[in-house]
Amino acid sequence: MAKAPVLTPQAEDFPRWYQDLINKAELADNGPVRGTMVIRPYGYGLWERMQQEMDARIKDAGAQNAYFPLFIPQSYLTREAEHVEGFAPELAVVTHGGGKELDEPVVVRPTSETIINDYFSKWVQSYRDLPLLINQWANVVRWEMRPRVFLRTSEFLWQEGHTAHASYEDARDYAARIHKDVYADFMINVLGIDVVLGRKTAKERFAGAINTLTLEGMMGDGKALQMGTSHELGTNFAKAFNTQYLSKDGKQELVWQTSWGVSTRMVGGLIMSHGDDNGLRVPPRLAAVQVVVMAIKGDEAVAKVRELGDRLKALGIRVQVDDRVDTPFGRRAVDWELKGVPVRIEIGPRDLEAGTAMLARRIPGGKEPVSIDALGELLPKVLEEDQAQLLRESRERRESRTSEVTTIEEAAEAATAGGWARIPWATLGAEGEAKLAEQAVSVRCLVAEDGSVPDADDAPGTVAIVARSY
């Protein structure tokens, strides 16, 4: 009798495969309150690496980290009408505290534009205080009706940047800088996901923004996932919170603002972009564990893997030693494969006699014996090759499953069949966007014909990317 697969095959049931992988790879569990999640150590290790890579890029862009309260007075959200209307269905509101009814209900942070603007209005006095560039790493709560671990949860982790500038042009350029130099650079060069950079339609724009820039990734099943967004807020929040500065000309002017964020949703994107029927495949530049050195059995093998682990760590490779010889080797190998560690180095008594180790590569697959002495020079090359392969696969999947269409019907058909469609925005328009929504298909973003981000929704040659999404 054939052995049952560890995971439900992707082709059989992609959502079930996703949930199986999260459970079997020990990434997360459902929390006790519907829509919440417990991120387990291995899953949190992925998020920590994402934080480290993102935080460095955010700081290179000039922003500083700060922290703002979790609880926000309900009245703050009502100051910007479009903003509160956009978030109203998702709000969690606290009405009692300390055994008493509160004088004013407080909202559990869904995003921080309002409370941060209250403080920006105090901190900004003069043009000399600008630009003010703030980022915070935090949790947020948006009550989710259809939860899915990492993708849509009522509480999730993220970073949110908030900035104030002296001019529209400065704010616009900074939002674009975050979009390209921080988010796209990280997602393409670290996550290995070939995201499309585009502009959201007016319908899909962030509540209270004048423009939203997005990064869309194609998942293994052909659906789109919004991986991150960067918003131009104009002066909407500055008006609501009276955030002004004294210009060089001695006039009181409203600041121009941006906000931008990515979240633990990226862990879900990582799983669905690179995972296969054997488990997760983690890009080497992201992996908290790039190489696991495994002793198959025997005291001498245990001593050797410990020695080798120390040697590889000294070379800057992120290594974990697995010397649990009291646990069957096959079970351990399957566990590491499920977790997607890029490289396994397996050493047993016969390998020691030959001075070799078995090199198992998770991303392209396959095993081959290599000289133990050559590993220090070989592994960095292998890891970079495998990083490049994941990005190449991501790009090839998107390109092969994206159709050029000329009608709304063709766009809906392509999206329903598990792919993306490109259709001229002049052909689709807001009316066509509404028709697609009736079939659970959305305009993910607008791009220029050459793939760049258009300056305006109605810019000549603008193309809509259409897909079903998470």
Residue by residue, pLDDT tens for the chain (470 residues) are 556 788 999 999 999 999 999 999 999 999 999 999 999 999 999 999 999 999 999 999 999 999 999 999 999 988 876 766 767 788 999 999 999 999 999 999 999 999 999 999 999 999 999 999 999 999 999 998 899 999 999 999 999 999 999 999 999 999 999 999 999 999 999 999 999 999 999 999 998 899 999 999 999 999 999 999 999 999 999 999 999 999 999 999 999 999 999 999 999 999 999 999 999 999 999 999 999 999 999 999 999 999 999 999 999 999 999 999 999 999 999 999 999 999 999 999 999 999 999 999 999 999 999 999 999 999 999 999 999 999 999 999 999 999 999 999 999 999 999 999 999 999 999 999 999 999 999 999 999 999 999 999 889 999 999 999 99
3-state SS, residue 41: helix
Q: What pLDDT is attached to residue 78?
A: 84
Q: What is the pTM of this model?
A: 0.95
d(CA 120, CA 184): 28
Q: Are 318 and 46 in contact (CB under 8 A)?
A: no
Strands 224-234 and 256-263: antiparallel
Q: What pLDDT is attached to residue 81?
A: 67
Which residues fall within 8 angstroms of residue 370, CB to CB, at 6 or more apart? 356, 357, 358, 359, 378
Q: What pLDDT is attached to residue 356?
A: 96
d(CA 46, CA 264): 10
Strands 100-108 and 402-404: unpaired
- Fill in the DSSP letter of residue 5: P
Strands (E), 323-430: 343-347, 356-361, 367-371, 402-404, 420-424
Which residue, 176, 156, 161, 208, is CA-closest to 35?
156
Crossing angle between the packed helical segments 265-274 and 41-60, to the nearest 10 degrees = 110
- For residue 7, give the H/E element and its range: none
Strand partners, 217: 225
> Which residue type sits at 175?
A
Find where tokens 């949860």 sit.
153
- For residue 157, give the H/E element and its range: strand 155-165
**Phi, psi of 282, rounded to the nearest 5 degrees:** -95, 130
**Phi, psi of 345, rounded to the nearest 5 degrees:** -115, 115
The dihedral region occupied by 72, where left means phi > 0, alpha psi between -120 and 50, and beta the remainder, is: beta
The dihedral region occupied by 242, where left means phi > 0, alpha psi between -120 and 50, and beta the remainder, is: left
- Fill in the DSSP letter of residue 195: P
d(CA 122, CA 434): 42
What is the number of other CB atoms lying within 10 angstroms of the CB of residue 92? 15
Find where tokens 């862990």 sit.
267
d(CA 276, CA 419): 18
Crossing angle between the packed helical segments 375-400 and 299-314, to the nearest 10 degrees = 70
Which residues fall within 8 angstroms of residue 239, CB to CB, at 6 or more apart? 254
d(CA 158, CA 332): 32
